[in-house]
Amino acid sequence: MKVLVIGSGGREHVLTWKISQSPLVEKIYCAPGNGGMSEIAECVDISANDIEALAQFAKKNDIGLTVVGPEGPLVEGIVDVFEEKGLKVFGPSKLAAQLEGSKVFSKEFMFRNNIQTAPFITFEDIEDAKDFLENARFPIVVKADGLAAGKGVMICNDKEAAVKAVDDIMKDKIFNEAGEKIVIEECLIGEEISILAISDGNDSVLLASSQDHKRIFDDDMGPNTGGMGAYSPAPIVTNFLMKEIEACVIEPTIRGMRAEGIPFKGVLYAGLMVTEEGPVVLEYNVRFGDPEAQAVLPRMKNDIVALMLASCDGTIANIALNWDSRDCVCVVMSAGGYPGKYENGFEIKGIDEAQKYGDTVVFHAGTKKTGGSLVTCGGRVLGVTCLGQGIEKAIDNAYKAVEAIKFDHCFFRRDIGAKAIRKIKI
Ligand code: AMP
Ligand code: GLY
For 221-276, give the DSSP string: EEEE-S-SEEEES-TTS-HHHHHHHIIIIIHHHHHHHHHTT---EEEEEEEEEEET
Q: Top-level CATH class of 191-318?
A: alpha beta
User: Is the CB of residue 40 less than 8 Å from the CB of residue 15?
Assistant: no
CA of 86 to the centre of ligand 2 (A): 30
The per-residue pLDDT for 177 is 85
- Is any atom of ligand 1 closer than 6 Å to the C-beta of 282? yes
CATH label, 2-91, candidates 3.40.720.10, 3.40.190.10, 3.90.1310.10, 3.40.50.20: 3.40.50.20
**Nearest CA among 145, 153, 209, 201 for reference residue 178:** 145
- Is any atom of ligand 2 closer than 6 Å to the C-beta of 70? no
Mutate to test the pocket of ligand 1, among 193, 212, 213, 283 (most ligand atoms within 8 A of CB): 283
Phi/psi region, residue 227 (left: phi>0; alpha: psi -120 to 50; beta: rest), is: left
CA angle 358, 360, 361 (to 5 degrees): 150
Distance CA 6, CA 66 (A): 7
- Is any atom of ligand 2 closer than 6 Å to the C-beta of 229? no
- Is any atom of ligand 1 closer than 6 Å to the C-beta of 153? yes
- What's the Cα-to-Cα distance from 368 to each of 78, 120, 171, 381, rounded to whole Å? 26, 43, 38, 10
User: Is the CB of residue 407 less than 8 Å from the CB of residue 381?
Assistant: yes
Show me where the domains of the chain are located.
Answer: 2-91, 119-186, 191-318, 327-425
- Is any atom of ligand 1 closer than 6 Å to the C-beta of 192? yes
The per-residue pLDDT for 82 is 98
Q: Would you call 29 exposed, middle or buried from its count of C-beta atoms within 10 A (0-12, 13-18, 19+)?
A: buried
The per-residue pLDDT for 245 is 98
The per-residue pLDDT for 48 is 97
CA of 37 to the centre of ligand 2 (A): 20
CA angle 264, 204, 276 (to 5 degrees): 95
Q: Which atom of ligand 1 sits closest to the CA of residue 187? A: 20
The per-residue pLDDT for 148 is 85
CATH label, 119-186, candidates 3.80.10.10, 3.20.20.100, 3.40.640.10, 3.30.1490.20: 3.30.1490.20
CATH label, 327-425, candidates 3.90.600.10, 3.40.50.970, 2.60.40.10, 3.40.50.300: 3.90.600.10
Looking at the CA of 139, name the nearest ligand.
Answer: 1
User: Is the CB of residue 309 less than 8 Å from the CB of residue 217?
Assistant: no
Torsion of Cα atoms, 347 then 353 then 355 then 356, to 10°: 180
Per-residue pLDDT tens digits of the chain, which is 426 residues long: 999 999 999 999 999 999 999 999 999 999 999 999 999 999 999 999 999 999 999 999 999 999 999 999 999 999 999 999 999 999 999 999 999 999 999 999 999 999 999 999 999 999 999 999 999 999 999 999 999 887 888 999 999 999 999 999 989 888 888 888 999 999 999 999 999 999 999 999 999 999 999 999 999 999 889 899 999 999 999 999 999 999 999 999 999 999 999 999 999 999 999 998 899 999 999 999 999 999 999 999 999 999 999 999 999 999 999 999 999 999 999 999 999 999 999 999 999 999 987 799 999 999 998 888 999 999 999 999 999 999 999 999 999 999 999 999 999 999 999 999 988 876
- Summarize pLDDT for 22-58 with one digit per residue, the tens: 999 999 999 999 999 999 999 999 999 999 999 999 9
CA of 106 to the centre of ligand 2 (A): 17
- Is any atom of ligand 2 closer than 6 Å to the C-beta of 12? no
The per-residue pLDDT for 291 is 97
The per-residue pLDDT for 266 is 98
